[in-house]
Amino acid sequence: MKIRKTISYLAPVDFASIVFLLLLTALNVVFHARVSVWRELVLVNAVTIAAIVLLAWLAEKHKTKLLVGIHRWYCYLFVIFVFKEIYLMVRPIHPTDYDQIFIAIDYWFFGVHPTQWLFRFAHPVLTEILQTAYFSYYVIFIVVGVEVYRRYPIEKFDHAAFLIVYGFYLSYLGYFLLPAVGPRFTLHEFSALERDLPGLFFTDFFRDIINAGESITKGHPNPVEIVQRDVFPSGHTQLTLVSTYLAFHYRIKSRWIVVFLATLLIIGTVYLRYHYVVDLAGGVLFFVITIWTGNKLEVWWNIVTGRVNNVRHDTE
């Protein structure tokens, strides 16, 4: 009975995070001969799951503004933690890169390599705009979350946070299934990127932050060996579409700004050589799967935990 009551404290995003951590733990155990730090990852995952359960229990028991806020917002930082964990797992578990398949699909469909074709339009002003929009990916879902958090009951924020975090986890599964490094390494020379696509003021700064997030050490002699395999699906496309969907679902004030940034961001994924066009198609597909299965999964979880009335209007 106590276990069932404790589970009822878990928000949908807690449930998704715990399940995904359990999946990663199982993969670490199964492929322990390949993942050199599997013991450390299993231990970290166990401690993290316990921390999530404890945080949910404390937030429900004491209901202070600070605890509730931490419980609702931790997930946005948590997806970065999980992103770095899978970095240690994807290549050891699935060492084959599938870039040549993605390149062939793009060429079959367009008759050209899209990133090479777009190079004819390259201009420092355009590069600056698109690199800034691409970087806004890390801000858009925060902006949407903040406005939903401020304007709506907490259950509405839970719905938005769940779809975003659940979407991240689905994209991470794609990285395990079809690892790839992207056209900036395969169809272009990575070291020539700053020369080929120079910006104006912030391009290099944003580019360096993104590279660091993908574990590319500045000045590394062979960055393709260390970059995160995170090309298919395009998480930038998938999660930006999820954020845009939520912006209109909740009619947030900045929804048209989100649409504007989202449009430039998706164009930038190819122009800036981060993704193949087929990755964008994968991002759209994963977006549809996120919304369709996410709503159903959230309804199920809220029925199990007695929260069903809280999200009925969000998931109908």
Confidence of residue 5 (pLDDT cuts 50, 70, 90): low
Confidence of residue 305 (pLDDT cuts 50, 70, 90): confident
Name the percent of the chain in helix, strand, coil, to the closest 5.
75, 0, 25
Q: Which amino acid is at 25?
A: T
Domain that holds residue 87: 2-315
C-beta separation of 313 from 249 below 8 A:
no
DSSP state of 221: S
pTM recorded for the entire structure: 0.93
C-beta separation of 265 from 240 below 8 A:
yes
Confidence of residue 110 (pLDDT cuts 50, 70, 90): very high
Q: What are the pLDDT digits (tens) for 236-253?
A: 999 999 999 999 999 999
Residue 207 CA to its chain's centroid (Å): 18
Count how many domains the chain has.
Answer: 1
Please choose, from the candidates 127, 125, 163, 166, the residue with its C-alpha nearest in 3D space to the C-alpha of residue 145.
163
Helices assigned H by DSSP within 32-64: 38-62
Q: Kindly report the length of the chain.
A: 316
